Structure 1
């Protein structure tokens, strides 16, 4: 057994597939002075009982990248590290029972095509050519992925371990971590074998990640599910077929019935994701044991009865096999089912690579991503879907984490409809006027836990969860959203917008520091402007509205979901010796958007503000005797103001504005209307149109770049890119003859039979009566009037590149009125 060294550059806590992959990729990056500590033996957590499936399928762009990389890595790993492995690339079939499922398949096939994978949507006749034992009743088709397969998790982990050791990294087994502490800028990791000092530390502790997180003062948003799969004895008919064919059957997933069925030697492996699922270690009455290494939960087959019967109807030969073994082990879940890969929120030089539900499929890519975070401070692909900072404090509440984990597990294979209303874990954060908004018919969705109105229903509208399960443009909300948009266009609309992330920046050095951090100009006192933050490579990190109160006092306002991410970006880049203070004021304030041509008349009735002040100005005024900040901006693209107020004053202010607005046609509007309105103005959305997948220049933001500034973060990289010419550019597209669906995120753009770009946002513009897509396209095609094709659920639609100005009110006359 290896001895514990006294120091290392990086210490990884946890020896499952993910932790060992992180060690291997750090060593490959040249960081060989790294040590992995494992409480027991390698693989003793979820890895040892994992089924070992390796799909590339994902409806998430970033996770598809992760899984594609894993599959590619595993195909060559045995040779690369000289360690034999059982890796069967069998291909897979995902069965589709509904038209909506087939739409999902066509979308994912398009994403896979962009990433260089040959994923195909096939009909029922072709299914049998791949899988002769199947019954195709009730099926509409399937998705065939030739790159799918299964791997031995223990062999995979040992192969990665050998590769890491051969490069100089070290693994110390049977060495549990008992505590961590900061000392003189380093981490000191305590174990029964002694202490090890390091610069960076990684929590890769799997289902024990919460235990390790608490050592850092971090409550990790996670829970633990029990997941069962059943192994069956040999099936003679399957054995004979395999011998003749020379290969295994493709892995079968009946996703609408929620199980996978895999050939295991000459038997079968059935793994359901059942609705009547069970959480473990979720209360004081059911604590996590001190050690659960290489252990399983008792069998609970009653939960699986329906799934077994359904699988036998689908593949009748399964019914001839005897049951061999049941595996029932712990699998961790975050509230959204995606893992945690990236910086540990609020903790310096600490990272997380944990809470993996599909750790074997994602281990290879996760190790790559984690190593990039540690060694470079950034990742090749935008990984917001897995960034630990996507969750804030409320998500760590055990009751919330359990409720969401149960929901995600029971709907593991559910179609991810863009407007689906998921019911678990709701009403965690409520606006001070939530009840008033609800009484107006608001239908809500959570944004970083804040319940915001998405649309306003009228009596008789279908507001069921089932009604939201569609990709179609039209649904019960469609006419209501149209009415909301037209009210904003013709009279006025008000949107309650709780939860804006809001940071107070002060100090004598604040202005100069902020100028060096953003690409553009810092506004003068009394003004507000957009600030774009780039990384060292010139890629888009975030966007914040900068409200200058005084030369040494600013409020930075950003997306609700960006709260932890953006605050940490500011804190990480704040010079220790500068006169700069940053405070998170998110919980103290709320906001309402008042927008439309009658908004000035409404405000004139409730306050004595100077309403002639120009666009991008702000002023403090009382409304109904309560202070507020009137900010003349409008994400809706009409004359309008944001009304920022203290939380406790918001109800009084809203009541006054609402009452005054009744004579001016004031209507409530929701987030879906706002999304339509912003698309018509070409306004970007964070982590859709604005992400590190694009540089500031590719994102069409050069008008926010002040090249004459002495320096700013990312300037050198952007200057090189500008000199070499930008290879892809941001465009607004309109579909020439739209169908029933608007472009989803990451839909392929085609020209002359070649993929030339991708969409980042899509939707219907109710003021312009057009289907609109924002995206990036090859630079030579970014000319107004050029024709491209947008691939929407497998069908290509002709689209036209629009001029570099808003579709609605192109000269901003209404906005500036």
Structure 2
């Protein structure tokens, strides 16, 4: 157990596989004076009862990278640390019942190939060759992953622990943490064995992470599901096949039914993810026990019976197996099923590594990512998919439980690009939500905010089922086209609640801001796009900067970026400056299109001749409005920023005045099409820490004459050496679907880049994508191919600027 040290550089709370992996990777990074404390024995939480599957499959680039790293690490870990492990690399089959599922698999094969993973698709006949006990009469095909398999979770944890200890890190078992407090610039972690002082702290407390989070004033958005899996006795036919072939059967996942089935010794392990699922410890009459170490829930087989029966029909030899035991244990869930991995929102020098639904397969990569956050303040891969700051103040307990159960019940569901999951909504609505709903708005949620995706008309199919497709030609297509054409030919209005807003002021604010961004700070009365880079020159965030006075600014950024950008700004804020988050006080509407000035002329008291990238205080229908001369749609237009109480009156006035000019409300699907035609980048799609400012083609937003700004040295080195890759605009031969993000870009037989976003451009009449590709290929006219769902589709580079209105004449009109 050991004695508790008085001090450590980092304290990790929680001794599951993720916490121990974090300790190991910190030690690998040279931070050996770190301590992990665990209230019981290592693995006592969710790790000990985990099934131990190690897939690399993910439809998300960063999570695939994290799981790929884990699998690579585990294959050499036993030898590296000198600790034997049962790790069976068996390969796996994911069965597809539908063409849509095969498309998902084809997309993932392309992503995997780009990461160097030999994933491939199999025909039904090839499935039988790999797994002779599977019935394939109704199967379209399968995804085969040769690196999938299973590992003993306890042995994996102990191997990582041995590696950490050998490097000098300390593990204290049977040491229960009971609180934390800030003392100057340090954290004091209170335990039943005394106190330990540390510079940084990591919450890796598994399903108890919410309890730990409250010590830091943090409500961790997570809940606990019970997950059952069944262990079956020996099946003679399986034993005979395994002995004859000298290996185990590949792990089988029937994702459309929602279970995995793998060989366990000479029997089977069956794990369903049932839609009739159960949450635990979420009501007053079901509190979390004081100690649930190495414990399980009672069996609850009735709710998984239909899936078990289906598995027995799919693999008939399973009917011959006797049931040995049922494992029904707690698994933590964040609302979207991805872990919480990274800085703890609003809390200095504190991090989260919790809510791991698939902790075994992600632990290796999670330890690497966490160690990078702690030691460098940045990670190799952009990890926004797991960043705790992706959630803000909309994740109350009801929302978290509803979304967690929805995610569990659809664990293997396809995430179609235009499908909006309905549970736990709405959380945040605009001041004119009811008005736009009455106009036919079909909503999706962004950072909790309900936003119109498109506007339906009577008779349109607005069912959830209609959105479960990869195709572009759903019931929304004609409406999106009409919305884009209205913006092109007349005017459109987009209700855009939730922009993150920060007021910055104080003596020296302008000079401080100049050192934070790569470009120039706009003059008073002007606005500009500002890019924040990290020390490696990579893109951290993008903000619109409105200069209100010499040392007073309004910073506007993406709705999802609210806590991320708040923490970035506060973490670098100079003494004497004041930053206020005023996000909830304001709303925004975008009025854009060639008739937008005429619409405003009759209802606004404003100077509508002010140029592009100007802003002013004005009135519309007698209500105060900040008019900002900018349009993400790439047409003449303004953003109308209003206080919440004034928003309905302003919207009504614009709608009434616009009726004679062809004004039409439009949604986010149309805006995405319009901005991609203009080559405008979107945060965490085209702009992320996977790319530098120069790679993203934002050279014009870099002011090299400034003596200093964050990332300047790294960007200067890259400028002198030449960028190796560059963001470009591509035109792709038409297909019925858009290119998904991270679709490989090919030249001949070599992958030379990836798409970052794509949409049909209704103004330019074609399929348009933004893509990062090898710099020497980014010149206009280069012919390439984009891999879309397994098909290499011809594409041509159009350059790095707009396809629509390249001279910005319409924008500046």
Find the partner of 1:647 among 623, 635, 644: 644
- Give the equivalent residue in structure 1 for 2:789: 793
- Give the equivalent residue in structure 2 for 1:564: 563
Residues 254-273 of structure 1: pairs in structure 2 closer than 5 A:
254-273=254-273
- Give the equivalent residue in structure 2 for 1:489: 488
- Give the equivalent residue in structure 2 for 1:74: 74
Deviation, 1:803, is: 2.7
State the alpha-carbon separation in 1 of the partners of residues 271 and 415 from structure 2.
Answer: 21
Matched, 1:121 2:118: no
Matched, 1:675 2:667: no
Deviation, 1:798, is: 0.9
Deviation, 1:421, is: 1.8
Deviation, 1:427, is: 1.1
Q: Does the CA contact (< 8 Å) of 2:57 and 2:64 recur in 1?
A: yes
Deviation, 1:804, is: 3.1
Residues 161-240 of structure 1: pairs in structure 2 closer than 5 A:
161-240=161-240
State the alpha-carbon separation in 1 of the partners of residues 103 and 803 from structure 2.
Answer: 29
Matched, 1:768 2:764: yes
> Could you give the per-residue CA deviations for residues 718-764 of structure 1, whole angstroms, max 9, x where no partner exists?
000111110001100001x3221211100000002100000000110
State the alpha-carbon separation in 2 of the partners of residues 445 and 306 from structure 1.
Answer: 32
State the alpha-carbon separation in 2 of the partners of residues 633 and 741 from structure 1.
Answer: 30
- Give the equivalent residue in structure 1 for 2:410: 411
State the alpha-carbon separation in 1 of the partners of residues 147 and 462 from structure 2.
Answer: 40
> Could you give the per-residue CA deviations for residues 249-292 of structure 1, whole angstroms, max 9, x where no partner exists?
00000000000001000110100000000000011111101100
State the alpha-carbon separation in 2 of the partners of residues 422 and 758 from structure 1.
Answer: 27
Partner SS for 1:422? coil
State the alpha-carbon separation in 2 of the partners of residues 192 and 473 from structure 1.
Answer: 59
- Give the equivalent residue in structure 2 for 1:89: 89
Residues 280-679 of structure 1: pairs in structure 2 closer than 5 A:
280-395=280-395, 397-575=396-574, 577=575, 579-679=576-676
Matched, 1:726 2:749: no
State the alpha-carbon separation in 2 of the partners of residues 661 and 179 from structure 1.
Answer: 59
> Could you give the per-residue CA deviations for residues 414-457 of structure 1, whole angstroms, max 9, x where no partner exists?
01111112110111101010000000000000111110000000
503-512 or 292-301: which moved more?
503-512
State the alpha-carbon separation in 2 of the partners of residues 731 and 432 from structure 1.
Answer: 38
795-804 or 293-302: which moved more?
795-804
State the alpha-carbon separation in 1 of the partners of residues 802 and 247 from structure 2.
Answer: 56
Matched, 1:780 2:784: no
State the alpha-carbon separation in 2 of the partners of residues 744 and 573 from structure 1.
Answer: 35
State the alpha-carbon separation in 2 of the partners of residues 195 and 704 from structure 1.
Answer: 49
State the alpha-carbon separation in 2 of the partners of residues 407 and 194 from structure 1.
Answer: 41
State the alpha-carbon separation in 1 of the partners of residues 601 and 184 from structure 2.
Answer: 58
Deviation, 1:465, is: 0.7
- Give the equivalent residue in structure 1 for 2:42: 42
State the alpha-carbon separation in 2 of the partners of residues 366 and 376 from structure 1.
Answer: 15
Deviation, 1:245, is: 0.7
Deviation, 1:625, is: 1.8
Matched, 1:20 2:16: no
Partner SS for 1:47? coil
> Could you give the per-residue CA deviations for residues 83-138 of structure 1, whole angstroms, max 9, x where no partner exists?
00000000000000000000000000000000001000111010000000110021
526-535 or 798-807: which moved more?
798-807
Deviation, 1:652, is: 0.8
The CA RMSD over aligned residues, in Å, is 0.6
State the alpha-carbon separation in 1 of the partners of residues 677 and 67 from structure 2.
Answer: 35
Partner SS for 1:682? coil
Q: Does the CA contact (< 8 Å) of 2:778 and 2:799 recur in 1?
A: no
Partner SS for 1:393? coil
Partner SS for 1:394? coil
State the alpha-carbon separation in 2 of the partners of residues 649 and 713 from structure 1.
Answer: 39
> Could you give the per-residue CA deviations for residues 607-627 of structure 1, whole angstroms, max 9, x where no partner exists?
121101100001111112211
State the alpha-carbon separation in 2 of the partners of residues 556 and 656 from structure 1.
Answer: 27
Find the partner of 1:808 among 790, 804, 807: 804
> Could you give the per-residue CA deviations for residues 157-197 of structure 1, whole angstroms, max 9, x where no partner exists?
00000000000000000101111001121000011111000
Unaligned 5+ runs, structure 1: none
State the alpha-carbon separation in 1 of the partners of residues 622 and 812 from structure 2.
Answer: 28
Partner SS for 2:177? coil
Partner SS for 2:605? coil
- Give the equivalent residue in structure 2 for 1:30: 30
37-46 or 231-240: which moved more?
231-240
Partner SS for 1:226? strand
TM-score (norm: length of structure 2): 1.00
Unaligned 5+ runs, structure 2: none
- Give the equivalent residue in structure 1 for 2:4: 4
Matched, 1:696 2:697: no
Partner SS for 2:579? strand
User: What count of residue pairs does the alignment treat as equivalent?
Assistant: 813
Deviation, 1:776, is: 0.9
State the alpha-carbon separation in 2 of the partners of residues 355 and 342 from structure 1.
Answer: 12
State the alpha-carbon separation in 1 of the partners of residues 758 and 594 from structure 2.
Answer: 26
State the alpha-carbon separation in 2 of the partners of residues 683 and 253 from structure 1.
Answer: 40
Deviation, 1:303, is: 0.7
Q: Give every structure 1 segment of 4 or more consecutive aligned residues whose post-TM-superposition deviation is greater than 6 Å.
A: none
State the alpha-carbon separation in 2 of the partners of residues 805 and 241 from structure 1.
Answer: 59
State the alpha-carbon separation in 2 of the partners of residues 47 and 764 from structure 1.
Answer: 45
Partner SS for 2:48? helix
State the alpha-carbon separation in 2 of the partners of residues 198 and 803 from structure 1.
Answer: 51
Q: Does the CA contact (< 8 Å) of 2:679 and 2:800 recur in 1?
A: no
Partner SS for 1:46? coil
State the alpha-carbon separation in 1 of the partners of residues 780 and 693 from structure 2.
Answer: 21
State the alpha-carbon separation in 1 of the partners of residues 448 and 50 from structure 2.
Answer: 32
State the alpha-carbon separation in 2 of the partners of residues 674 and 762 from structure 1.
Answer: 12
State the alpha-carbon separation in 2 of the partners of residues 218 and 269 from structure 1.
Answer: 38
Partner SS for 1:228? strand
- Give the equivalent residue in structure 2 for 1:713: 710
State the alpha-carbon separation in 1 of the partners of residues 453 and 598 from structure 2.
Answer: 26
- Give the equivalent residue in structure 2 for 1:150: 150
> Could you give the per-residue CA deviations for residues 342-386 of structure 1, whole angstroms, max 9, x where no partner exists?
000000000000000000000000000000000000000000000
State the alpha-carbon separation in 2 of the partners of residues 711 and 775 from structure 1.
Answer: 30
Partner SS for 1:106? helix
Partner SS for 1:171? strand
State the alpha-carbon separation in 1 of the partners of residues 472 and 445 from structure 2.
Answer: 21
State the alpha-carbon separation in 1 of the partners of residues 499 and 763 from structure 2.
Answer: 26
Partner SS for 2:285? coil
Matched, 1:749 2:745: yes
State the alpha-carbon separation in 1 of the partners of residues 654 and 460 from structure 2.
Answer: 27
State the alpha-carbon separation in 2 of the partners of residues 493 and 184 from structure 1.
Answer: 53
Deviation, 1:240, is: 1.1
